[in-house]
Amino acid sequence: QSALTQPASVSGSPGQSITIPCFGTSSDVGSYKLVSWYQQHPGKAPKLMIYEDTKRPSGVSNRFSGSKSGNTASLTISGLQAEDEADYYCSSYASRRVWEFGGGTKLTVL
């Protein structure tokens, strides 16, 4: 049972936009500007896509964006491409001084 809740799967067609929610609580997502998102392709290490709720690391496509409202963070991918098909994980710092991950969302590009 993961501390943060994500849908198990989402799907979209090439060119469309999708949003992956990450549901937390007032002890994690809602308390800190420290939500991050990771992309993981099969057999590969995770890659940082979004940090501090909304910021994008250098080199990450601007098709990826992050947002947050209350205890819910979201990752939006616009202009879906085949290479975006992967697992996506949210993470947040929590009040117990630990870090938490969501259970992961499998993105399928139809």
Partner 1 sequence: EGQLVESGGGLVQPGGSLRLSCAASGFAFSRHWMHWVRQAPGKGLVWVSRIINDETGTIYADSVKGRFTISRDNAKNTLYLQMNSLRAEDTALYYCARGGIVANAFDIWGQGTMVTVSS
Regarding 39 and contact with partner 1 (CB under 8 A), the answer is no
When binding is defined by CB under 8 A, the residue of 55, 70, 81, 95 that contacts partner 1 is: 55
The residue within the footprint of partner 1, chosen from 13, 62, 82, 97 (CB under 8 A), is: 97
Q: Is residue 34 close enough to count as binding partner 1 by CB under 8 A?
A: yes
Supply 44's token pair: 């590969």
Task: Determine which residue in the list 57, 70, 81, 110 makes contact with partner 1, applying CB under 8 A.
Answer: 57
What's the CA gap between 98 and 2, in Å, rounded?
13
Q: Does 28 bind partner 1 (CB under 8 A)?
A: no
Token match 């799967």: residue? 9
- CB contact set of 13 (below 8 Å; sequence gap of 6+): 80, 109, 110
Opening angle at CA 34, ends 36 and 64, nearest 5:
35
Q: Torsion angle, CA of 90/94/98/99, rounded to 10 degrees?
A: 10
Q: Is 83 in the site for partner 1 (CB under 8 A)?
A: no
Site residues (vs partner 1, CB under 8 A) = 2, 34, 36, 38, 40, 45-48, 51-52, 55, 57, 89, 91, 97-104
